[in-house]
Amino acid sequence: MSALLRRIAWHWRYDEKRELWIGWWTLVVFYNLYGLLFFVVARTQPPPKPSLEPSEIVQWFDDRHYGLLFGYAIVFIVGGATAIMNATLAYTMRRMSVSRAFAYSYLVIYALATLPGMLIMGVACTVGAMRPDRDPELMSWLYDFAFLSFEGTMGVFLIGSLVWMVAVLLDRNRVFPKWFGYLNLCNALTEVVVAPAWIFKRGAFAWDGAIAWWINMAVFVTYTAVFLTLLRRMILREDFGSGPLPDLPR
Amino acid sequence: MRRADGEVILLWTLPAVGVIWLSAFLLFPGFVQPMSPTLSAEEVAAFYRDPENLPRIRYSMIVFNWFAVGLIPVLALIVMQIRRMAHRTPIFSYAIIACAAGGPTIFLMADLFWLLAAFRPMRDPQQTLMFNDLAWVTFSSQVGFLIAQSVILALAIYLDRQERPVFRPWVAHSNLVVAALLAPAAFVGLALEGPLAWDGLLSFWVRNLAVGLWIVVMGFVLGRAIYRQRSAEELAA
């Protein structure tokens, strides 16, 4: 433990790349933490059925009363960490040979994405859980508000991924391999196929369905693991110049 | 005479916005004596139906709707100061821009819920209660961007390694203290009574005083940094 602390102190003092490493570690720690909070503590993922009756929805809130209230409270405290995460990802575009407009677009799009991406869901679940005796019809509205804001807000992630894709494909500074550009397209397409979640309450296209949820989650997890790996390599290669990045040092 | 870049004008909007916010805060009848979360649906509906309260609720929330984004120019000035710090990347200034976009949007959501509750006070009391809950929970629990902006600013200050740093270390320390004071409010849903409830010591008084403290401290040190920067530039010219 003390060896680890000494290492961190060394990097804090001497490492020229400490700002980038702060961003990278924030990404790694908080993606894991969000996964833990959504899947294990709040238990809102994998999502429940959209077809539940109001009385079943009341029961759903009741079953995870403290999980929702406690889990989302932690999400609210650390939710702002997305700012430094998105700033780090925007920096990858700033390091490319493309216009800074790409970095700025990505930054603002993903800053707004935090609201429908998790905070609105947290507010709706907190309000639902805090009064178990609320009118079941209104509980059902809160339930829809939570899951449809979370899964049904598509544009921010669609356009955000496309901005990153175009930047990677145009870049001459070798920041990311070109195939990562096309992986961004896969992530963007998940936001297209989730749209029917606004229409269907059962089946593969419903918000808990095989396509709208399971395939999308698989793509998202792969995409995230890939860009975390590529970002780490980029930081190792970073020379703070403005030309092509060197190869990974051996 | 140096060319006017407008930063001083933006800086002096802060006291004006501060006075407007404080007036709207005092005008809203649910803040002066913060509304209790233990009120029944009928009591909450009666609060909105009261002819004494209704215009004050509407007018105060309209004023908040106008000026909720008033802090963004000041955050932009902080971004300008972070850009003067001795960093290798623009990550910290980008991150503050991200906080500036996210934070006020959340406050506007709370404002909308209050205004919706007041728009048709004769609605079914259960619905008024839900809008009131949504407003209070959004307002109280959404401390994430405020915490992030304090922590990021503190990191930026600690890593500003030059002979005359833009802000002194105590500014970073006080930002971390503010972040810690804001955190308990996130747990507002856990209790209808006591310090964590939305009318309680931690979620209401400590949280809102911390926000006020941050605005006063940052306004003061930001103003000093901007004026010092200007006189240094004039001397160099």
The answer to whether the beta carbons of residues A9 and A15 sit under 8 Å apart is no
Q: Which of A80, A114, A126 comes nearest B147 by C-beta?
A: A80
Best of B36, B75, B78, B91 to disrupt the A interface by mutation (most A CBs within 10 Å)? Answer: B91
Of B89, B127, B152, the CB nearest to A83: B152
Residues of B in contact with A123 (CB under 8 A): 109, 134, 137-138, 141-142
Confidence of residue A117 (pLDDT cuts 50, 70, 90): confident
Calpha distance A69→A42 (Å, rounded): 8
Q: pLDDT tens for residues A144-182?
A: 999 999 988 888 999 999 999 999 999 999 999 999 999
Q: Which residue has the tokens 């996210």?
A: B102
The count of C-alpha atoms lying within 13 angstroms of the C-alpha of B135, restricted to the half-sphere facing its C-beta, is 22
Q: Which residue of A has its CA nearest to B152?
A: A84
B219 contacts B14 by C-beta, under 8 angstroms: yes
Is pLDDT above 90 for B101? no
> What is the reported pLDDT for B236?
87
Q: Is the pLDDT of residue B201 over 60?
A: yes
CA pseudo-torsion sign B201, B202, B205, B209 = positive
A202 three-class SS:
coil
pLDDT tens digits, B32-50? 889 999 999 999 999 999 9
Q: Where are the domains positioned within chain B?
A: 7-236
pLDDT of residue B47: 97
**How would you label B115-142 residue by residue, b for 16+ Cβ within 10 Å and e otherwise?**
bbbbeebebebbbbbbbbbbbbbbbbbb
User: What is the pLDDT at residue B80?
Assistant: 96
**Can you give the pLDDT at residue B8?**
94
For residue A168, the model assigns a pLDDT of: 97
pLDDT at B4 over 80: no
Q: Is residue A97 part of a domain?
A: yes
Q: Looking at the domain assignment, is residue A243 inside a domain? A: no
Domain presence at residue A242: no
Q: Give the pLDDT of residue A101.
A: 97
CA-atom Rg of chain B in angstroms: 20
| C-alpha span between B46 and B32 (Å, rounded) | 17
**Residue A114, CA distances (Å) to A82, B105, B182, B190 in order:** 7, 11, 19, 23
Average of pLDDT values for B211-220?
A: 95
Q: Do A22 and B91 touch (CB under 8 A)?
A: yes
Interface contact A80-B134, CB threshold 8 A: no
Chain B touched by A230 (CB under 8 Å):
no
Q: Does residue B1 carry a pLDDT above 60?
A: no
DSSP B61-103: HHHHHHHGGGGHHHHHHHHHHHHTSS-SSSHHHHHHHHHHHHH
In a domain, A140, yes or no: yes
Q: CA B205, CA A9: separation in Å to the nearest integer?
A: 36
Instruction: Give the DSSP H/E element, type plus range, for residue B134.
Output: helix B125-141
Q: Residue B24, SS3?
A: helix
Q: Tell me if B77 sits within 8 A of B225, measured CB to CB.
A: no
| Among A72, A108, A127, beta carbon nearest to B134 | A127
B196 three-state secondary structure: coil
**What mean pLDDT do residues B59-66 have?**
94
The domain of A230 spans: 16-237
Q: What is the pTM of this model?
A: 0.94
> Measured between CB atoms, does A131 come within 8 Å of chain B?
yes
The three state secondary structure string of A44-75 is: CCCCCCCCCCHHHHHHHHHHCHHHHHHHHHHH
Alpha carbon distance B94, B109 (integer Å): 24
Distance CA(A57)–CA(A50), nearest Å, equals 10
Split at pLDDT 50, 70, 90, the class of B2 is low
Residue A210's pLDDT band, with cuts at 50, 70 and 90, is confident
- Residue A1 has a pLDDT of 79
d(CA A124, CA A139): 9
Secondary structure of residue A96 in the 3-state scheme: coil
| CB contacts, 8 Å: A16 with chain B | 88
The answer to whether position A92 is within a domain reads yes
Mutate to test the interface with B, among A130, A140, A235 (most CBs of B within 10 A): A130
Q: Spell out which residues of chain B touch residue A107, defining contact as CB-CB under 8 Å.
A: 94, 97-98
Extended beta strands in chain B, E state: none
- Is residue A26 domain-resident? yes
The closest alpha carbon to A192, from A167, A225, A215, belongs to: A215
Among A123-132, B112-121, B186-195, B226-235, the minimum mean pLDDT is found in: B226-235
Q: Tell me which residue in B91, B98, B142 faces A19 most closely, judged by beta carbons.
A: B91
Indicate the range of A196-205, B152-161, B214-223 predicted with least confidence.
A196-205
Q: Which of A249, A105, A215 is nearest to A167 (CA)?
A: A105
Q: Average pLDDT in the B67-79 region? A: 94
Grouping H, G, I as helix, E, B as strand and the rest as coil, residue A241 is coil
DSSP E strand stretches across chain A: none
Hey, CA dihedral for A159, B80, A22, B217, is it positive or negative? negative
Q: What is the Cα–Cα distance from A233 to B91, expressed in whole angstroms?
A: 18
pLDDT of B90: 96
pLDDT at A229 over 90: yes
Give the span between the Cα atoms of A83 and A81, in whole angstroms: 5
Structural domains in chain A (count): 1
Q: Which of A69, A79, A80 sits opposite B189 (nearest CB)?
A: A69
CB A59 within 8 A of CB A136: no
Q: Is the dihedral angle over the CA atoms B189, B18, B114, A38 positive or is it negative? A: negative
Q: What is the pLDDT of residue B3?
A: 66
